[in-house]
Structure 1
Amino acid sequence: MSHPFGRGAVRDIADVYGVDERALADAAASVQAAVGNYPGATIDGLVYEWRQAFAEDPLVERTPTRWVLLVPERVWTDLCERGGVRDDLRPVLAALHASAFTGERDEDDERVPLVLARS
């Protein structure tokens, strides 16, 4: 499965953090696949469920190709675990997801950026 980031974004973040570009791209794809393989839900359906379930609507931006969300840290942790993302790549992957977030955030907002390709 692919991921919602352009090659340039992956390369730039990999360079900043000194990690292998392919490893970062694979980690991004594994999180996307973890969401895509979520039991009983499509990606779009899961986003809809999150929008109903969480106290704060996680949707930041919706485009024809991707969702930009702010999710509770527990969701991010679960997706990284389901995707088998190595511990050393998690902060780099988080930076990649954060790089797609262009909105302003309340400094007290502890939610984590999550970008997903639409299904």
Structure 2
Amino acid sequence: MGHFDLGIYRRPISTSSAKTQRWFDIGLNWCYGFNHEEGIKCFEKALETDAGCAFVHWGVAYTAGPFYNFNWKEHGKAEADHSVERCFAHVQMALANAASASLVERRRTSARADCCCCH
């Protein structure tokens, strides 16, 4: 994974790990640039340094679902099933770790649990 200038947007999250925060920010910037595959890779790197960070799990769930440039109609059945399973699993992990998250993160995680792809 090369390093690109994705901008300086940061979203502070509830983690004590600077590496987790860095990888989360890079992943979020990739998502905002509509490259969800790279975003997931970054969120997975963030989980290596803080596997209990609820909002990184939220990031994977957010990224695993459909988006503007790759909607559900473009997913094959197996791909859609995999996306839903991944989203659901990470929402569950986010909820399980929500006690250590900020109020905003807990609310965002709960909202993701109510999304259409995780039912």
TM-score, with length taken from structure 2: 0.30
Q: Which has the higher contact order (CA 8 A, sep 6+)?
A: 1
Larger helix share, 1 or 2: 2
Larger strand share, 1 or 2: 1
